[in-house]
Amino acid sequence: MSAQQGPEQAVTMRDVAERLGVSTMTVSRALRGRPGIGEETRQRVLAEVAALGYRPNKQARSLRSGGPSELVGLVVTNLANPFYARLAIGLEEVCLRQGARVVLGSTGGDQAVEREVVADLLERGVDGLVVVPSGHDHSHLGGEQLRDTPVVLAAGPPMGIEADCVLVDDFGGTRAACRQLIARGHRRIGFLGLPPSLWTGSERFRGYAVALEEAGIALDERYVSRHRGDSALAEETARAMLVLPDPPTALLTANNRNTVGALRAVRAGGYPVALAGFDDIELADMLDVPLTVVSYDPAEVGRAAAALLYERREAAAAAQPRRVIVATTLVDHPRPRQVRDDSSF
Amino acid sequence: MSAQQGPEQAVTMRDVAERLGVSTMTVSRALRGRPGIGEETRQRVLAEVAALGYRPNKQARSLRSGGPSELVGLVVTNLANPFYARLAIGLEEVCLRQGARVVLGSTGGDQAVEREVVADLLERGVDGLVVVPSGHDHSHLGGEQLRDTPVVLAAGPPMGIEADCVLVDDFGGTRAACRQLIARGHRRIGFLGLPPSLWTGSERFRGYAVALEEAGIALDERYVSRHRGDSALAEETARAMLVLPDPPTALLTANNRNTVGALRAVRAGGYPVALAGFDDIELADMLDVPLTVVSYDPAEVGRAAAALLYERREAAAAAQPRRVIVATTLVDHPRPRQVRDDSSF
DNA sequence: CTGTTAGCGCATTCAC
DNA sequence: GTGAATGCGCTAACAG
């Protein structure tokens, strides 16, 4: 139980050593499988360690050795966003192979908080940082203050600093989706997106615009909306587009909230409109409205980020910044995603 | 940028002290706002700290002071489960007020892994552990090995150990849902649940059974299924119930997967059946099938767990184990949950 | 008010 | 192969 009798001091290396009549160095060597110790001695030590239930203190170890803390910081706005949650899983998976764990740093999308979180994680001696940046200015993620701690940006390219990053193929995915709509005969395609100031807002719109251009379709501003709002606003916007004199026959939505809004608008109004959207939606197969989505694996973003982190450590620190793009696939009438994969709930 | 020129040693307290011609203690006192230092000196120190960009090393601090590491471990099966993700948010929120961050420990539902994760987190000197246990045997979460590290169980009661815990009102929530079905005139109510070996499986079934009993309705085993499967299996099971000679007029589902399966079965077959389920479902308002859900706030579980952790630290370590129950509410035709609440995606 | 001594738990470096 | 000294960065405890 967590409630102990006495202060119950932690067992230290010295306790093990004294009991065996050896020095702490011998214990240390045995524990870490280092050479310079007899096989017999090693066994004796390990036995005593098990008997006493001794556990090395990793903080002290990394302090003395100057080695890695085996802690990697993950800075995101909000884990409730399944993208981040799944990114975290991928990150943890790869970090674990290196013996490292992930420390959470939620920012709530606040740039000032992000700075604090980064500073705090650095004080904790993390070996690296994976950041999904909230703003456009990334200067706090570079320069002196980081003291050699590698940083990998996720889902957005570095701005104002040099750093490795992992991106989703926002452009290619959106273009593919738009192409498919065009291939199915649509020429008036509405776009519900995000502000151009956001990377995803800019790239996904570019995918839309390029696909249109490649097909020789002129971009009609009446069919374009780029704002940062909730799904209610998206629904409103979609509805407004669908009652134009010459309404679009298809809607391309650049993110989840817009997709949900568009779905509602279409369903409520019963418009004969094709839908395609970036990002998967749960239970999409159960909706009455057929939907094509641009799908990708957020965990892969996390895995790639971790890989970059560790590769950077191997390489000369000053090597060229690398950029990894995670691919997307187009999915029709998407099948349900298994979201809850343990059976406790 | 993360690529520096030289080894660029970290700035230490000594660097600050030497530059100012004072001792490291003076710097330490200034930094921690401790008394026993002149206001003027403090300002000089703080200025130099800022100038050098000095950051205290928290690992060294907690090592020397024997104080808290300000790290709390979260042990769950899988963050992709939104329950755990939101629990993590609540936990982080409260921990942050105490200056602590959350370290992730995913187990994948594997008991052996859970043991390792707990051991590893202890080696890292976490101040506390919040665990959503995978199995029935919690002995590895108690006893000597924990060395005074408080543990709080979440979503399941301690078994074989004494520990604080936070539970969801599985029983009450399910009973309320079942009562509502009964109040609406249903008497043949099917139940799709989890194995009795699981806490949630047992408690939620109890809620169902008690509600029936209170209404004087006999429990009919043909209407009861309790297995651990995916939503496809649940769909199959629901369908089988609905084609009975005397089919249920309502289905009560004890968790997400069963709810989804039931929804599919009902939708596909067009059966005139009422549905009620434990746990919220996204986009439930967009489905054609009306649904009542037992809703609760997973973040509250995290918050409560953190609170217990810190209260335990204040209290005598040997105080009585506490148990907090998080309330549930019944929601009809649930409104959409805002899942992605930042605007980057 | 400030500095000195000592040491947290462990590992590097060098003796032996 | 093993042990002693030394110090990682920081802070109690006591000195001045």
For A28, A54, A56, the CA distances from A38, given in Å and listed in that order, are 13, 21, 21
* pTM tops 0.85: yes
DSSP state string for A25-72: HHHHHHHHT-SSS-HHHHHHHHHHHHHHT----HHHHHHHH-----EE
- Closest by Cα among B110, B157, B148, B109 to B126: B148
Nearest to B342 among A89, A109, A164 (CB): A109
Q: Are A27 and A45 in contact (CB under 8 A)?
A: yes
Distance, C-alpha A39 to centroid of its chain: 45
Is residue B261 within 8 Å of residue B238, measured between CB atoms?
yes
Question: Do B114 and B151 sit in the same domain of this protein?
Answer: yes
User: Closest residue of A to B151, CA-based?
Assistant: A2
Strands B323-326, B101-106: pairing is: unpaired
Arithmetic mean of pLDDT, A299-303: 98
Q: Is B76 inside a domain boundary?
A: yes
Residue of B nearest to A52 (CA): B145
Placement of tokens 């993700």 in the chain: B85
Q: Are residues A159 and A204 in the same domain?
A: no
Q: What is the mean pLDDT of residues A63-86?
A: 93
Size of interface A-B (CB pairs under 8 A): 273
Specify the CATH number for the domain of residue A247. 3.40.50.2300
Task: Provide the token pair at B339.
Answer: 């899942």
> Confidence class of residue B8 from pLDDT cuts 50, 70 and 90?
low
Q: Residue B108 domain-assigned?
A: yes
Kindly state whether residues A110 and A177 are assigned to the same domain: no
CA A165 to chain CA centroid, nearest Å: 11
CB B31 within 7 Å, strand D: yes
Residue B126's pLDDT is: 96
Residues B320 and B284 occupy one common structural domain? no
For residue A104, list chain B residues with Cβ-Cβ distance below 8 A.
88, 92, 101-104
Cα-based distances in Å from A129 to A112, A148, B345? 17, 11, 21
B190 CB-side CA count, 13 A: 28
Chain A span 31-90 residues with beta carbon within 7 Å of strand D: 35-38, 41, 60, 63-64, 66
CA dihedral sign of residues A330, A335, A336, A342: negative
Q: How far is the CA of A21 from the C1' of D3 (A)?
A: 11
Interchain CB distance below 8 Å, B148 and A78: no
Note whether A88 and A120 are same-domain residues.
yes
pLDDT band, residue B293 (cuts 50/70/90): very high
Residues B229 and B305 reside in one and the same domain: no
pLDDT surpasses 90 at B175? yes
Residues A232 and A152 grouped into a single domain: no
Number of domains in chain B: 2
In the block, which residue shows the tokens 């530059």?
B19
Task: Convert A113-123 to b/e letters by CB count within 10 Å (16 or more is b).
Answer: bbbebbebbbe
Is residue A35 a part of any domain in this protein? no
Q: What is the pLDDT of residues A233-250, one digit of tens each?
A: 999 999 999 999 999 999
Nearest to A279 among B80, B88, B345 (CB): B345
pLDDT band of B9, cuts 50, 70, 90: low
Residues of B in contact with A12 (CB under 8 A): none
Q: Which residues of B touch A79 (CB under 8 A)?
A: 79, 85-86, 88-89, 92
In DSSP terms, B164 is beta-bridged to: B152
Q: Nearest-CA residue to the C1' of C4? A: B23
Query: From the CA of B33, how many Å to the nearest CA of chain A?
Result: 18
CB distance B53–A264 less than 8 Å?
Answer: no
**B237-286 pLDDT per residue, tens:** 999 999 999 999 999 999 988 999 999 899 888 888 999 999 988 777 77
| A63 lies in the same domain as A156 | yes
Give the residues across from A71 on adjacent strands: A101
B200 to chain A nearest CA, in Å? 7
Same domain, A163 and A175: no
**pLDDT value at residue A95:** 98
Contact at 8 Å (CB) between B330 and B176? yes
| Residue showing tokens 């696909």 | A211
Question: Mean pLDDT across the stretch A245-266?
Answer: 94
Residue B185 belongs to domain spanning: 170-295
CA distance B216 to chain A (A): 28
CA torsion, ordered A34, A35, A37, A42, to nearest 10 deg = 40
Task: Tell me which protein residue sits closest to nucleotide C12, measuring alpha carbon to C1'.
Answer: A65
Same domain assignment for residues A194 and A150: no
pLDDT band at A345; cut points 50, 70, 90: very low
**Phi/psi class of residue A137: alpha, beta or left (left: φ > 0; alpha: ψ in -120 to 50)?**
beta
Domain membership flag for residue B310: yes
Contact A326, A301 (CB under 8 A): yes
Cβ of A35 near strand C (under 7 Å)? The reply is no
Smallest CA–CA distance, residue B194 to chain A, in Å, is 8
Cross-strand partners of B154: B166
Q: What is the token pair recorded at B299?
A: 């973040």
**Closest C-alpha among A175, A177, A127 to residue A152:** A127
Is the CB of B185 within 7 Å of strand C?
no
Residue nearest to nucleotide D3 (CA to C1'): A23
Point out the residue nearest to D4 (C-alpha to C1'): A23
A228: closest CA of chain B, how far (Å) = 6
First to last CA, chain B: 26
**What whole-number distance in Å separates Cα of residue A253 and Cα of residue A205?**
10
Cross-chain residue pair A123–B255, CB shorter than 8 Å: no
Q: What is the spatial distance between Cα B163 and Cα B321, in angstroms, rounded to a whole number?
A: 5
B23: in domain: no
Residues A138 and A180 grouped into a single domain: no
A132 and A193 together in one domain: no
H or E segment to which residue B39 belongs: helix B39-52
Position A330: which residue type? Answer: L
Question: Is B137 a domain residue?
Answer: yes
For B54-73, the pLDDT digits (tens) are: 999 999 999 998 889 999 99
Strands A291-295 and A71-76: unpaired
CA A14, chain centre distance (Å): 42
Q: Which amino acid is at A161?
A: I
Residue A29 falls within a domain, yes or no?
A: no
B132 CA to D9 C1' distance (Å) = 35
The answer to whether B30 CB is within 7 Å of strand C is no
Pull the structure tokens for residue B232: 């496809």
Instruction: Name, in order, each residue with C-beta under 8 angstroms of B121's C-beta and a sequence gap of 6 or more.
Output: A101, B73, B75, B103, B105, B129
Higher-pLDDT residue of B334 and A295 is A295
Q: Which residues pair with B226 in a beta bridge?
A: B193
Report CA(B233)–C1'(C2) in Å, whole number.
Answer: 73
Judging contacts by C-beta atoms under 8 Å, the chain A residues touching residue B53 are: 144-145
Task: Let me know: does A75 contact A132? Beta carbons within 8 Å.
Answer: yes
Whether A30 is in a domain gets the answer no
Higher-pLDDT residue of B287 and A65 is A65
